[in-house]
Amino acid sequence: MNSNLVYFDYASTTPVDPRVAEKMHECLLLDGNFGNPASRSHEFGWKADEAVEKARLHVANLVKADSREIVWTSGATESDNLAIKGAARFYKDRGNHIITSKIEHKAVLDPCRQLEREGFEITYLDPDENGVISLDNIKKHVKDSTILLSIMHINNELGAVNNIEEIGKFTRENNIIFHVDAAQSTGKLPIDLSKLDVDLMSFSGHKTYGPKGIGALYVRRKPRIRLEALIHGGGHERGFRSGTLPTHQIVGMGEAFRIAAEEMEKDNKKIAKLADLFWKEVSDIEEIYLNGSFKNKIPNITNISFAYIEGESLIMALKDVAVSSGSACTSASLEPSYVLRALGRADELAHSSIRFSFGRFTTEKEVKMVAETTKRVVHQLRELSPLWDMYKDGVDLEKVEWVTH
Amino acid sequence: MYSRKVIQKFEETLKNPKAHNVGRMDVKAKNVGTGMVGAPACGDVMRLQIEVNDKDVITDCKFKTYGCGSAIASSQQMIEMLIGKTLEEAKNIKDREIAELLELPSIKIHCSVLAEDSIKKAIADYESKKA
């Protein structure tokens, strides 16, 4: 790989921390901890089981849960599926109404679509202009038949943070199961499940310097939450999720979460400083818009719309920088970001958006370099843009009759 | 996902816009035809201007394009094909030729369609001024 490439896409995935890789490596070879954690008849199995339980404890510790409340899955997508489909199907006799939001990850929206096909009724809430779901909005849509609410903690495109403490109090009082997709949260915001009224919470290994292909679902014990399993075959994970446990993946996620608990404060301080520096550097570019609000977002994600430039061309011009865009041209569907559209942003601003996301290994030098390059290429691309000309000429683009195709 | 040609055309244009016909001409001039197609909400807008001499030959072109990398590369490819052609020849340029020359992935064919449309509109504008 080109060693000049700068990685500013930590919200998409993170590299595995070297300390994590080392622990994982210990669980692969004949002389290592390779056994099947479900083997009860020999030491290979016992040792593997011990490692899995230690990792479970690390995950539980980071979010102040009981380790018996942690169920291993293949990733946050499976956790979301298990939580939403599992709870809906188990509690379907109580009601058939589910509430979620328009800006959830597809791992939440697609299971909801599936449940609609099964006869459930889903309400998709609008966020406010900064990507936050308000409690008032939730209250307005609750019915007697509402059994489940699924709201993300931190939005993956904007970094916007929802108040899950406040929402949880309401759902608990109203006997509604509360699922939170926290794939973006671990190691970024403290989570205390001993205090939060959250019933189900999804975690991902690879967003927190752990490996891909491993995640977990928190399933509350008191009050006890039950789920209909999606995968059957051996009754592993107390029947919630069958399948041989991948010891190396689990140990990796455990170590990653252990490190996150230990270094969260240090990481966050550093990242906040870098994010400030980045914004300071780029904010003198004309006609740019922050998607989301500084008041209510994590510093790890800075999502900016550069008006009059199309996002994919900006990504191509920023060729040594790995970022992602809400532009239609970078998606297989040719639709601009549904998250930005749900905020009420005009389509052209969605097409013009770039998500810069920083992480543990981001350096000040990289931030300065990327800010500098961004300034240069935004200027270059605007020189190429007929819309920029029109804007500079004082033409109101809203009033132009466009020839669409 | 892009061919080397798309990336090369895009980067050349970005680096040296003037040498690659980025710019604008006087919209009102009698010998200039302007065609603007696309919409900001769709993610691409192409503005093509052609300068035509009294023998109906396209002597110069200018363009500006808002859009993805392949839209910018398609504009550039179109310009190369237009200069020196008569209006009748230019009318026969097909989006397929542009797409093939740039080896555009099928999901990006609309970029070359946009280019063909802008040629047609620019010529129509020029002809309406002459009429």
pLDDT at A334: 67
- φ/ψ of residue B66, rounded to 5: -105, 120
Interface test with B, best of A318, A383, A384 (most B CBs within 10 A): A384
Choose among A201, A249, A210: nearest CA to A360.
A210
pLDDT at A172: 98
Per-residue pLDDT, averaged over A354-377, amounts to 97
Tell me: pLDDT of A185 over 90: yes
B126 in contact with chain A, both atoms CB, cutoff 8 A = no
Tell me: pLDDT of A376 over 90: yes
* Residue B34: Cβ within 10 Å count: 22
Per-residue pLDDT, averaged over A139-149, amounts to 98
In chain B, the residue whose alpha carbon lies closest to the alpha carbon of A382 is B66
Query: For A316, which of B17, B69, B117 is closest by C-beta distance?
Result: B69
Tell me: pLDDT of A131 over 80: yes
Q: CA of A376 to nearest chain B CA: how many angstroms apart?
A: 11
- % of chain A residues with pLDDT over 90: 92
Pairing state between β B44-52 and B32-39: antiparallel
* Contact across the interface for B37 and A347, Cβ inside 8 Å: no
- % of chain B residues with pLDDT over 70: 100
Mean pLDDT of chain A: 95
pLDDT at A339: 94
pLDDT in tens, A212-259: 999 999 999 999 999 999 999 999 999 999 999 999 999 999 999 999
Q: Which residues contact A224 (CB under 8 A, 6 or more apart)?
A: none
Radius of gyration of chain A, Cα coordinates, nearest whole angstrom: 22
Bridge-partner residues for B50, per DSSP? Answer: B33, B61
pLDDT at B117: 93
pLDDT at B105: 87
pLDDT in tens, A83-102: 999 999 999 999 999 999 99
Pairing state between β A200-204 and A177-181: parallel
Catalytic residues of A: 329
pLDDT at A311: 93
- φ/ψ of residue A51, rounded to 5: -65, -40
pLDDT at B110: 84
Tell me: pLDDT of A278 over 70: yes
pLDDT at A186: 98
Residue A4 banded pLDDT, cuts 50, 70, 90: confident
Count A/B contacts: CB-CB distance under 8 Å. Answer: 100
Order of strands across the sheet that contains B32-39: B32-39, B44-52, B58-66
Per-residue pLDDT, averaged over A283-295, amounts to 96
Which segments of chain B have a pLDDT < 70? none
Per-residue pLDDT, averaged over A329-336, amounts to 70
Choose among A229, A220, A217: nearest CA to A59.
A217
pLDDT at A330: 66
pLDDT at A405: 58
Q: Report in angstroms the alpha-carbon separations of A106 from A76, A297, B19.
A: 11, 20, 44
Query: For A310, which of B11, B43, B47 is closest by C-beta distance?
Result: B43
Tell me: pLDDT of A328 over 80: no
pTM of the model: 0.94
